Structures are given as C-alpha cells and as structure tokens.
Amino acid sequence: MTSLALHATPHTPARREEAATGLVTITRGESRAFLLTPKAIDPERAYPLVTVLHGAGRQDELLIRATRDDPDRRGALFLVGRSFHPTWDLILGADRVDLDFFEYAYEWIYDRYLVDPARQALLGYSDGASYALAVGLSNPRLFAAVMGWAAGFLAIDTANLTAADPRPRVFLEYGTADPLFPFAQVALPMRAALERLGYDLTFRADEGGAHWPSREFQPAALDWFLG
C-alpha cells in the first residue's frame, strides 16, 4: 500500500496580514481545493480546520454550498477537497497525487491562518468517508477526529504509527436501507472493526436511509466535533 503519511505541521503563520476571507481557491498545477473562512479572521485566534471530502464523481461544488454557512456558524476553517481523478488516489490504487496536494494545501493554510493543532478533522462522504478514515487514522498526530457517512472500507497505514500516538475519535453514519453498502455487510462490520481496534466510536443508523446522507448527518457530526 502507498504510504498515507502526511507531512504537514501547524505553525504560527508569518503572513497573517495576507489572509483572504470567504471562498479561497488553492491550486497547484491541475489540483485544487477550496478554503471557506469566517467573514472576519481574528489573527490572534487559533481556528479549527475541517477537511471535507466528496464521494465518487467530485461533488465538491455541492459540498461548498452545503458548508458555506458553517465557517461563521462554527467559527472554523473548512477545506473542501477535489480529487485529481473522479475519486481519491487511494481508492483508485493511484500514486499520491491527492495526498501530496493536501500536504501542499495544509502548509499553504498554515502559512496564512492560525490553525488549532488539536482541532483538525476530516469529514467525508462515501468514497470520501473511506478516504477520511484511511488518512485520518493513519495520521493521528495531525487529525483529532474523523467523521464519515457511509465509509466502505478501512485501510490504516500502520507503518506511520507509533505506540505513543493518540487515537482519533470517529463519528460514522450509515443508512439502514443503503443498496450500495448494505448495512449488515458494511456498516456493522465497520463498527465491530473500529471497536475491536479500540477507537472511540460514535455510530449512527439512519433508519430507512439509502445511499444519500441524511440532512442531520453533517450538523450532528460538526456538533460532535466542535461542540
């Protein structure tokens, strides 16, 4: 398996006066992501950073619309990623095109915004939820929590872990009538695997829900993480 390690370290930004607000596009070559900030940034305040990961098909524009009010409501920064390919590199078995870009994007953010190193999280949908679990649990020194709707599989880069590492908290939701990821075959084994590995797991079942997130998922997940 390709290394899932992310080499990015929050630090006091040297160029806070340059920090843009609103919807900010981060690009490198053909890769891009979108940072949503509160309307006004307090340069002395450390902000939580939530990275939002779409499912297969690149629904980043939909997630930007769904998240646009959260920076001011939650007092946090939100990074909405866009996969280079139609879905994320790990799921395609591709090289680290997305992970390498996230390293760049995080350092770009840390250079301009004061980020709370203890309050960084990943929030993903479907393929993005699987990716969030893989990246978040493989980088526990960077991410405090992972939130996912309908994660399909669990892959952890144990080569990047030490016995002293913290364990991110996990929040998962699945629809009980999901035809793509059947609840008994996907959701319940995922819950059992994470509990067996000792993760602090909050697990929600959307009764009758299909392969589309409930309206309550993202607000509940952000309440759980940000308080």
Q: What's the pLDDT tens digit per position in 171-223?
A: 999 999 999 999 999 999 999 999 999 999 999 999 999 999 999 999 999 99
- Asked, for residue 9, whether it belongs to a domain, the answer is no
Q: Would you state the pLDDT for residue 182? A: 98
Q: Would you state the pLDDT for residue 94? A: 75
> Is a pLDDT exceeding 70 seen at residue 15?
no
User: In whole angstroms, what is the distance from residue 203 CA to residue 7 CA?
Assistant: 30
CB 6 within 8 A of CB 139: yes
- Asked, for residue 8, whether it belongs to a domain, the answer is no
- Asked, for residue 1, whether it belongs to a domain, the answer is no
User: In whole angstroms, what is the distance from residue 147 CA to residue 217 CA?
Assistant: 9
Q: Would you state the pLDDT for residue 59? A: 87
User: In whole angstroms, what is the distance from residue 221 CA to residue 175 CA?
Assistant: 15
- Asked, for residue 97, whether it belongs to a domain, the answer is yes
- Asked, for residue 11, whether it belongs to a domain, the answer is no
Which residues constitute the domain of residue 39? 16-156+165-226
Q: Would you state the pLDDT for residue 17? A: 57
Q: Report if pTM > 0.85.
A: yes
Closest CA to 77 of 140, 28, 23: 23
Structure tokens at 206: 């959307």
- Asked, for residue 4, whether it belongs to a domain, the answer is no
* Ranges 10-24, 89-103, 204-218: which has the least confidence: 10-24
pLDDT tens string 147-169: 999 999 999 999 999 999 999 99
132: domain CATH number?
3.40.50.1820
Q: How far is CA 102 from CA 54, 108, 191, 210, in A?
A: 14, 9, 27, 30
Please count the structural domains in the chain.
1
pLDDT tens string 100-125: 999 999 999 999 999 999 999 999 99
